[in-house]
Amino acid sequence: MKQPVEGFSKLSKSQKIDWLAKTYFADPEKAITIFKKYWNDDTKLQKLHDEFIENTISNYYLPLGIAPNFLINNKLYTLPMAIEESSVVAAAGKAAKFWSRRGGFRAEVIATEKIGQVHFTYKGDPEKLRTYFKHIKPTLLSDIAAISANMEKRGGGVTGIELRDRTDALKDYYQLHCTFETLDAMGANFINSCLEQFARTFKKGAQEYSGFSEDEKQVQIVMSILSNYVPDCRVRAEVSCKVDELNEDHMPPREFAEKFVRAVEIARIDPHRAVTHNKGVMNGIDAVILATGNDFRAVEAGIHAYAARDGKYTSLTRASVEGDTFRFEIEVPLALGTVGGLTSLHPLVKLSLEMLGNPSAPELMQITAVAGLAQNFAAIRSLVTTGIQKGHMKMHLLNILNQLQATEEEKEYFVRYFKDKTATHQSVTEAFYKLREKA
């Protein structure tokens, strides 16, 4: 039976790996070799990666690909995409090329407001609390002057504080609902620092406030934290063209447009389809977010909450045919940054941002929303024409061959062999072993 390990964090990286290998692996030496194989030969760069998180033992690589030909607001971009899933980058590039010949993508930022909250309990008279809030609000703002000075110099800072009574949902529960503008920064540290100071000021002020009884002075702070649900930090992207320009090889333009619109409508009314539909959107969004050093978990959580904002989970995209015009659009919350965090530390993140022309946060919001729209367009186009498997499995072919430990010559042979065939796992495996038998 395995025992808890003491003092693990104080061990060196090699000591941690030795303990891990001996405790959990049948072949410790093989495990150690694999872990060390992914260390960077540049010791300075490896030390930088080691310090991103705690208890590092190795690096976990994801491929960094590029999707060219994205025409966004009449400006041409090549998008960096960090993702492990086959066919995503190819599909994004294909969609970008398709729309670059039809006027490109149009995108606009609707708002950039971020949110944080101080959650607390209060057991007294609600009217007294409202009066106290009006009294303490100027002090709340003045007490964060040192924290917000640099942000305010750049044009950002706290944009609002309001008291919210949530006792209808939870006994004695209130919150300070605060809004922020963080410009090109992701702003998490700034927002949380402001919130924690708000909490200290609010609690201390309550203890000294003459309008409260002794019991009412006992405001209890539960927690102070930013929210990853940012419905007022939102971006919209769209494409449109004449229906006749949807000249697919597989069906007439009007039929393609109508099937496409119906596919999106199905995702709007059926949550089972909507989840998979939106996963396709996030294939594009997450890949760009990872490549640019942003927090894809925060974005995922916020976007999926937004998809369910009306009480039912639904599609993030909309499609329509009005007269002879086809339109496809997306509107999503995206709280992104282009300064701070990994953006100034990770060498590949810095190159990815430079590839995009060192965009501002609002510009990166537009680029990222377009990546999601492009990916969704590519997926739906495949679904309503040839089906998703033909293209996906062709891109997945090399993964299957690598699992089978194919040689380079065998890989080249099967890429040619499956050029005009559907490459399922079974068909590739059968063809592979037949070739091996002949050899």
Mean pLDDT in consecutive groups of 10 residues from the start of the chain, 439 residues: 85 94 95 95 92 94 96 98 94 96 97 98 97 98 97 97 98 98 95 98 97 95 98 98 86 94 98 98 98 97 98 98 97 96 90 97 98 97 78 65 81 76 77 76
Residues assigned a catalytic role: 85, 279, 295, 392
pLDDT of residue 248: 67
pLDDT of residue 423: 72
Q: Is residue 1 part of a domain?
A: no
DSSP code of residue 340: S
Strand order in the sheet with 220-227: 157-165, 173-181, 114-121, 220-227
Q: Is residue 251 part of a domain?
A: yes
Can you tell me the distance from the alpha carbon of 279 to that of 275, in angstroms, rounded to the nearest whole number? 6
CA dist 213 → 120, 129, 203, 303 (Å): 18, 11, 14, 43
Please give the model's pTM, rounded to 2 decimal places.
Answer: 0.89
Can you tell me the distance from the alpha carbon of 332 to that of 327, in angstroms, rounded to the nearest whole number? 17
Q: Is residue 2 part of a domain?
A: no
Residue 102 has phi, psi (to 5 degrees) of -130, 35
Can you tell me the distance from the alpha carbon of 431 to that of 343, in angstroms, rounded to the nearest whole number? 46
Beta bridge partners of 224: 118
Structure tokens at 55: 């208890």
A 10 A CB-CB count for 15 gives: 11
- DSSP letter for each residue of 297-357: HHHHHHHHHHHTTTSS---SEEEEEETTEEEEEEEEE----SBSGGGGT-HHHHHHHHHTT
Cα 434 to chain centroid distance, Å, stands at 43
Q: Is residue 34 part of a domain?
A: yes
Structure tokens at 35: 């872990």
pLDDT of residue 365: 98
Can you tell me the distance from the alpha carbon of 205 to that of 140, in angstroms, rounded to the nearest whole number? 9
- Please indicate, yes or no, whether residues 222 and 185 belong to a single structural domain of this protein: yes
Beta bridge partners of 330: 237, 317
* 343 Cβ contact list (under 8 Å, min separation 6): 292, 293, 294, 337, 349, 350, 353
Q: Is residue 344 part of a domain?
A: yes
Beta bridge partners of 79: 67
- Please indicate, yes or no, whether residues 18 and 163 belong to a single structural domain of this protein: no
Give the max Cα distance, the chain.
93
Segment holding 256, helix H or strand E: helix 253-269
pLDDT of residue 430: 78
Q: Which of 186, 207, 227 is the last residue of a domain?
A: 227
Q: Which of 342, 361, 386 is the last residue of a domain?
A: 386
Owner of token pair 């909309």: 318
- Please indicate, yes or no, whether residues 264 and 375 belong to a single structural domain of this protein: yes
- Please indicate, yes or no, whether residues 302 and 362 belong to a single structural domain of this protein: yes
Q: Which of 159, 193, 227 is the last residue of a domain?
A: 227
- Please indicate, yes or no, whether residues 301 and 371 belong to a single structural domain of this protein: yes
Residue 370's CATH number: 3.90.770.10
- Please indicate, yes or no, whether residues 271 and 410 belong to a single structural domain of this protein: no
Nearest CA to 10 out of 22, 2, 19 is that of 19
Interaxial angle between packed helices 388-403 and 88-100, expressed in degrees from 0 to 180 and rounded to the nearest 10:
140
How many distinct structural domains can be found in the chain?
4
- Please indicate, yes or no, whether residues 145 and 203 belong to a single structural domain of this protein: yes
Residue 131's CATH number: 3.30.70.420
> Residue 27 in 3-state DSSP?
coil
- Please indicate, yes or no, whether residues 403 and 360 belong to a single structural domain of this protein: no
- Cβ–Cβ < 8 Å for 340, 186: yes
Can you tell me the distance from the alpha carbon of 193 to that of 434, in angstroms, rounded to the nearest whole number? 64
pLDDT of residue 391: 55
- Please indicate, yes or no, whether residues 197 and 147 belong to a single structural domain of this protein: yes
- Please indicate, yes or no, whether residues 203 and 93 belong to a single structural domain of this protein: no
pLDDT of residue 410: 77
Q: Is residue 302 part of a domain?
A: yes
Structure tokens at 32: 């150690």
Q: Is residue 14 part of a domain?
A: yes
Q: Is residue 142 part of a domain?
A: yes
Residue 95 structural domain: 64-108+236-386
- Please indicate, yes or no, whether residues 411 and 294 belong to a single structural domain of this protein: no
Owner of token pair 């917000």: 148
- Please indicate, yes or no, whether residues 36 and 104 belong to a single structural domain of this protein: no
Cα 200-158-176 angle, rounded to 5 deg: 45
